[in-house]
């Protein structure tokens, strides 16, 4: 099987550690390896590096190649621009030329606690694709009533533990999320797919003929790639294809998946001292509890504070309550308004 | 008149901004000038720089001379080591050779809101010393029931608004401090003295004969200064001399005096935004109130926090509640224990 890792994302949730030129997937948030490197590592030995393809942006391609010397440089694809996941996957799958071989599509910035469990499920999904030509999506067994994720609603049981996916459910309200958690018939949509390349391209032609035509045009006239790419409909694979299919299959993942969507989520998965402080880099915490302290530069010393995020990079220090981690984007917007783009 | 500024102090209250090689008096905490420079500036035109003497340590003498090019280099005296204020003043007054001219002894690290008011009082004190040969100490009219300062208890009124000092009172408990504040018969001891040099040396010989003999020995054998200095009794001028005198006079100061004893005290005197945040250097505060943010390096951005001190220097970031400013010393002690003296 082959793997296609989507590594073009940008975002501000881990600012100031993440920057435009160094987004989340290129950061080593947990250990010494970046999330992208860990995504490739996690596939071994199921998918050899020679069978890994990366779809990223032109701005990040060089950094991606540096982080992944084991992946052939030509398989690090640089999109002319970001147009959401469906054009990216369609374009990359066309270039991969995988035939009927299963392709796993994976985000580059997620975390699994149990890589072996993940590989086992991914291997079973690939087998189901080979045997039955399913389009598979892997869903995560919910651990709390999350309102920030989409869900998969489960239908009938298929062979070998597979389940039919009745429908994709958009981000629910809290009451619905609690019902999903209690009911046992929903999974978190983790954005992980497995399918035959040929099957995907057929579905693309059927459900997104305009996009498929545009990608064919790019293949014919590579010099006009940027111009044509800019005109493609910018839709997610979920909306553009998956939600239109009646016969998607899934396997539930139970491997400590996290999308590491905030500083708070990072605090949850890092090792902590007896007072609940997670310390990365040169950090000292006295009389302090449940803080996340990350330093890329010199010492960060705190005393008498709780439930804070304190992050220090070479040029920037950020302090905010852990529960308000998502609001770090407000600082980013304010700095952009103040013409401080050098810090973003 | 001449001035003797005591600039040998060290301390940790403004760590990490203050360092062993750059203690509080050398820091520009409020404006562009250091507290030491402001102390010299404040004396103008009452005491010309040519009549200013500085007593500091060997480690700090060069930095002091750099900050005060207007003070003759030979008048920046470097103590062989710190032995508290009485040996320092005795040694320096001997070298100043001021005769019967008034000498004002001033700490180097205090702040006055109204410099002109201070000069006016200091000028009147010098006049009283010239006319009556008083030993004067200037006391500050209390503004709150402070338990961290010593007090002067006032006695009879003398001529020209001067008051007799009945006694020096050690740091009181809260009930006593409240009574002092309400009673109007106590002043804060600000450590500011004015006397004739000759008078002081006579009092030293009378009340501290051992110290006076040691200083005479140093004058005779300068090569043995360090060795002899190390053997001098390390006492404060308050305890060694002032508390033994029956006829000290005072003038009350009402000029916005502060000893700037903590980050919290600095927050009080700095200009603040409408939410009460005092920002020094490159700082951004969103949805945040009553914080002190000081940056010597890059940006410090906070969101959703209140009543914190956040200080960034080139190598260190500190975060602690403003109300616990005094405990910054605990971080210093912890770092010393961890062999991180490079940060202290």
* pLDDT confidence of residue B173: 96
Asked if B299 and A315 come within 8 Å (Cβ–Cβ), the reply is yes
Contact with chain B for residue A298, Cβ under 8 A: yes
Phi, psi of B40 (to 5 degrees): -70, -45
Name the band, by pLDDT with cuts 50, 70 and 90, for residue A11.
confident
- Whether the per-residue pLDDT at A271 is higher than 90: the answer is yes
Distance between CA atoms of residues B335 and B344, nearest Å: 8
Q: Which helix (H) or strand (E) holds A38?
A: helix A35-43
The minimal CB distance from A299 to the residues B300, B303, B316 is found for B316
Which residue of chain A is at minimal alpha-carbon distance from B327? A303
A chain contacts of residue B273, beta-carbon cutoff 8 Å: none
Which of B286, B317, B321 faces A334 most closely, judged by CB atoms? Answer: B286
| Interface contact A317, partner B, CB < 8 A | yes
Domains and CATH numbers, chain A: 2-253 (3.90.550.10), 263-343 (no CATH)
The CA distance from A93 to A87, in Å, is: 10
A295 touches chain B (CB under 8 A): yes
Is the minimum CB–CB distance between A179 and chain B shorter than 8 Å? no
Q: Give which of B256, B293, B319, B307 is closest to A277, Cα–Cα.
A: B319
pLDDT (mean) for A212-240: 94
Mean pLDDT over A313-339 rounds to: 97
Task: Decide if pLDDT at A139 tops 90.
Answer: yes
Flag if A327 and B301 touch (Cβ within 8 Å).
Answer: no
For B85, B127, B157, B227, B279, the CA distances from B74, given in Å and listed in that order, are 20, 27, 40, 22, 38
The DSSP line for A118-160 is HHHHHHHHHHHHHHH--EEEEEEPPSS--SSS-EEEEEEE-GG
Give kind and range of the element (H or E) at residue A219: helix A209-220
Which chain B positions have a beta carbon within 8 Å of A295's beta carbon?
Answer: 317
Report yes or no: A308 at the B interface, CB cutoff 8 Å.
yes
- The tens digit of pLDDT for each residue in B259-280 reads 999 999 999 999 999 999 999 9
Q: Which chain B residues contact residue A284 at CB under 8 A?
A: 331, 334-335, 338
Provide φ and ψ at B194, rounded to 5°: -135, 130
The CA-atom distances, in angstroms, between B174 and each of B181, B191, B323 are 10, 21, 18
CB A226 within 8 A of CB A81: yes
Average pLDDT, chain A: 96
A305 touches chain B (CB under 8 A): yes
Q: Is B188 left (phi over 0), alpha (psi -120 to 50) or beta?
A: beta
Partners of residue B314 in chain A, C-beta under 8 Å: 298
Q: How many CA atoms lie within 13 A of A304 on its CB side?
A: 18
Cα distance between residue B5 and residue B120, in whole Å = 18
**What is the predicted pLDDT for the residue at A266?**
97
Q: Are strands A248-253 and A163-169 parallel, antiparallel or unpaired?
A: antiparallel
SS3 A277: coil
- Has residue A56 got a pLDDT over 90? yes
The backbone region for B304, taken as left when phi is positive above 0, alpha when psi lies in -120 to 50, beta otherwise, is left
- pLDDT value at residue B160: 87
Using alpha carbons, list the distances in angstroms from residue A32 to A37, A276, A280, B35, B266. Answer: 10, 21, 11, 45, 41
Integer CA distances (angstroms), B251 to A217, B32, B40, B105, in order: 92, 30, 21, 15
The minimal CB distance from B317 to the residues A287, A308, A317 is found for: A317
Interchain CB contact of A273 with B (< 8 Å): no
Whether the CB of A289 is below 8 Å from some CB of chain B: the reply is no
Residue B266: φ, ψ to 5°: -65, -45
Residue of B nearest to A317 (CA): B300
Q: Is the pLDDT of residue A160 over 90?
A: no
**Residue A64 near residue A22 (C-beta atoms within 8 A):** no
CB neighbour list of residue A341: distance below 8 Å, 6 or more residues apart: A335
- Considering only alpha carbons, which residue of chain A is nearest residue B284? A331
Q: What CA–CA distance (Å, rounded) separates B166 from B22?
A: 38
| Residue A82, pLDDT above cutoff 90 | no
| Interchain contact A302–B (C-beta under 8 A) | yes
For an interface test with B, which of A263, A282, A303 has the most B Cβ atoms less than 10 Å from its Cβ? A303
Question: What pLDDT does residue A240 have?
Answer: 95
Which residues of chain B lie closer than 8 angstroms to A308, CB-CB? 305, 319
Work out the minimum CA distance from B13 to partner chain A, whole angstroms: 14
Residue B253's pLDDT is 96
Question: Token pair for residue A38?
Answer: 């860990």
Q: Is B278 exposed, middle or buried (0-12, 13-18, 19+ CB in 10 A)?
A: buried
Residue numbers in chain B where pLDDT is lower than 70: none
Asked if B278 reaches chain A (Cβ–Cβ under 8 Å), the answer is no
CB distance A304–B312 less than 8 Å? no
Model ipTM? 0.90
List the structure tokens of B298.
Answer: 């890059």
Q: Touching check for B301 and chain A: CB below 8 Å?
A: yes
Residue A159 in this model has a pLDDT that exceeds 90: no
**Are residues B315 and A299, on separate chains, in Cβ contact within 8 Å?**
yes
What percent of chain A has pLDDT above 90?
A: 96
Find tokens 């992208």 and name the residue. Answer: A36
Cα→Cα distances A290→A318, B40, B90, B150, Å: 17, 47, 53, 40
Per-residue CA distances from B136 to B62, B126, B129, B132, B182 (Å)? 31, 9, 7, 10, 24
By three-state DSSP, how is residue A178 classified?
A: helix
Measured between CB atoms, does B308 come within 8 Å of chain A? yes
Residue B343 CB coordination number (10 Å): 20
């Amino acid at each position: 099987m082959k793997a296609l890792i989507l590594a073009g994302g940008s975002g501000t949730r881990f600012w100031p550690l993440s920057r435009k030129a160094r987004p989340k997937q290129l950061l080593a948030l947990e250990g010494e390896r970046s999330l992208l490197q860990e995504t490739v590592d996690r596939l071994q030995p199921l998918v050899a590096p020679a069978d890994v393809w990366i779809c990223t942006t032109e701005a990040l391609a060089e950094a991606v190649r540096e982080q992944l010397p084991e992946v052939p440089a030509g398989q690090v694809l640089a999109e002319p621009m970001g147009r959401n996941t469906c054009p990216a996957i369609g374009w990359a799958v066309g270039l991969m030329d995988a035939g009927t071989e299963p392709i796993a599509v994976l985000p580059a910035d997620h975390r699994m606690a149990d890589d072996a469990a993940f590989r086992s499920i991914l291997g079973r999904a690939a087998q189901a694709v080979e045997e039955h030509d399913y389009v598979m999506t892997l869903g995560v067994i919910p651990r709390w009533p999350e309102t920030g994720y989409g869900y998969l609603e489960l239908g009938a049981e298929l062979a070998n533990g597979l389940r039919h996916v009745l429908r994709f459910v958009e981000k629910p309200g809290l009451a619905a999320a609690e019902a999903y958690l209690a009911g046992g018939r929903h999974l978190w949509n983790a954005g992980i797919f497995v399918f035959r390349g040929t099957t995907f391209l057929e579905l693309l032609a059927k459900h997104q003929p305009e996009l498929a035509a545009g990608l064919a045009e790019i293949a014919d006239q590579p010099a006009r790639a940027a111009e044509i790419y800019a005109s493609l409909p910018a839709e997610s694979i979920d909306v553009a294809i998956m939600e239109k299919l009646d016969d998607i299959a899934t396997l539930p993942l139970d491997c400590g998946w996290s999308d590491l969507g905030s500083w708070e989520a990072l605090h949850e998965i890092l090792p902590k001292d007896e007072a609940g402080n997670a310390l990365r880099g040169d950090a000292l915490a006295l009389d302090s509890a449940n803080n996340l302290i990350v330093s890329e530069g010199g010492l960060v010393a705190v005393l008498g504070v709780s439930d804070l995020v304190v992050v220090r990079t070479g040029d920037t220090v950020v302090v905010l309550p852990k529960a308000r981690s998502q609001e770090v984007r407000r600082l980013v917007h304010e700095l952009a308004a103040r013409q401080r783009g050098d810090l973003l």
